[in-house]
Structures are given as C-alpha cells and as structure tokens.
Amino acid sequence: MRRRDFIASVAGAAIAWARPSDAQQPKMRTIGVLVRAAPGWQRFWKAFPAALHDIGYIEGQNIRFEFRSDDGQISRLSELAAELARLKVDVILSWFTPAAIAAKQATHDIPIVCALCGDMVGTGLVDNLARPGGNVTGDSSLNPELGAKAVDLIRQMVPSAHRIGVLANAPDPFSKPFLKQIQDAGEATGTAVEPIMIHTAEELDAAFAAMETSRVDAVIVQPSLPTKRIAELALKYRMPSVCTFRDFAHDGGLMSYFADEAEMYHSAAVLVDKVLKGAKPAELPVEQPTRFELVINLTNKFIS
C-alpha cells in the first residue's frame, strides 16, 4: 500500500471512530400537551417547558411538543386527545381535569401525566393516590378540600355571611367533588349553600342577578370558570368572592387560595421525566401540594 493511501485510510478510520454513533445521539421524544383553555393556561405553558429545561430537556434537541388547546370549547377535548393518541406521542401531559379525562378516554396505552387536576380519585382518573393503576398519574393540586377552605376563609373575613353561593362549572367533572366539599363545610358550620351550575359564560350575568335576589352574602368560584369576568361581576353586585385560583384577587375578587403553581409544574415535569425513562404511571404516586398561597385584595371594598 502506498504511503498516501495508508494515511488516507488511517484518517478515514479516525473520522469514523470520532463520529458519534446513532446510539449516542440524544433520542428525540414527543410530549403531547392537552390544555383546557381556562384561566392560567398561558402561565402553565410558560412554566412547564421551563421546568423540563431545568432537568435537562431542550426543545428541538431531545424533546418536541405536540400542543393542543380546546380554545375555550371544552367539547373539542375528546377530538384533540384522540389526535394525540393517533400521533403515538411518548407521553401526554394534560392541564386541568377535563383535559385529563379526555386523554384517558382516548388511550389506555400512552402514559398520561396530569398537571393541576382536581380530585383524581373522585373523578376516576386513578384508583388511589399511592398506586394510581392504569396509565395515569400526575399532581392533584385542585383538591376539593380547597372548596371547604374557601368557606372557612369567608367566615373569617365576612362574619356576617350566612348564605354562600357557589358558581360551579357544569361541564367540568371536578365540579361534583368541589361542590360536595363546600356543601359539607356549610352544613358543619351552619352556613346555607346555594349552588349555581354554569354551562356557558353567557349565564354569569343572570347567575349574579339570581344570587342578588336570593340574598346571597358571598360567593365561591370554581377556578375553571371565567374568573376575571366573575370578579368584575362580584364587584358590580357588591358581593364578597373567593376562588381557588391565584389571579382572582388581582382581578378584583376578595380572596384567592391556591397551591404553589411553580411547585406543581416542577412535580409534573419530574413525573414526565420518570415516564420517559421507563417508569410506569401505575406505580408513580400522585403528587400533592405542600405549599399554598393566600392572596387578599386589600383594595376590595369588603376589607374594613
């Protein structure tokens, strides 16, 4: 072999040896994201990818997203979930209870991680919190107990309130356990509870007019409803209001009481990471919040 051919042969071998093998390349994983476009979803969509980034996932390098939002039309969730299932994404991350239920109905094979879902046992998403069973796990931050806490907060802030209205989101399966906890808390404290089921945002004005007629003293709001509009109506009707949603007090409501969202989105990202590394959702305990945030609107007219 001529010297020049030998050098070329050695150089070619060196290049081949230095080139990373396919096995060494980061594998691109696909995360399907299914969102119920309720208040706060934009904050979720900013925080969750950031939480994944913190644990080593970079969009375009080792993960890609298939993002789907119902754009405020809850009836579209089933169609969107089925679309993600057909794409055979590696995991579905669902935000809010209706999205999680739609995802579970769409697939029994693809792992599902829930973020900010309510009462995951009561809504049938998991068998129990310690061992979820099936293909679903996540963080259950919107626990129905928050509704009972809202009753307690109203009684502390507005001692004269003896009749409380509850605006519940009828299409959201979480409305049932949420409402039951409030009714139980009302019964335990001698507080009358008047539930009002809301099917569309157009019903809100009539709901407040009805509560004024029935002399409701304060109102508790389910967070998947249009909370900003409700805060405005509560001010218009001079009605103390509380919601288990972070921004409610900033929008004009009297109080908000909610789990620490940053903690919850970090938990969801960690669970997604575990699933992508081979863990089974059935064996991953549902996470629950350890920190809560109470916000009181000191400019509200009901603060003396």
- Give all domains of the chain, ordered by start, each with its CATH number: 27-141+260-290 (3.40.50.2300), 145-259 (3.40.50.2300)
Q: At residue 18, does pLDDT exceed 50?
A: no
Per mean pLDDT, which of 1-5, 10-14, 43-47 is the most reliable? 43-47
Provide the pLDDT confidence category of residue 11 given band limits of 50, 70 and 90: very low
Alpha carbons 226 and 218: distance in angstroms, whole number:
18
What pLDDT, on the 0 to 100 scale, is given for residue 144?
66
In this prediction the pTM is: 0.81
| Span of 191-200, 258-267, 273-282, 295-304 with lowest mean pLDDT | 295-304
Q: CA dist 138 to 32, 133, 282, 284, Å?
A: 15, 12, 11, 8
pLDDT(145) > 70: yes
Percentage above 70 pLDDT, the chain? 89
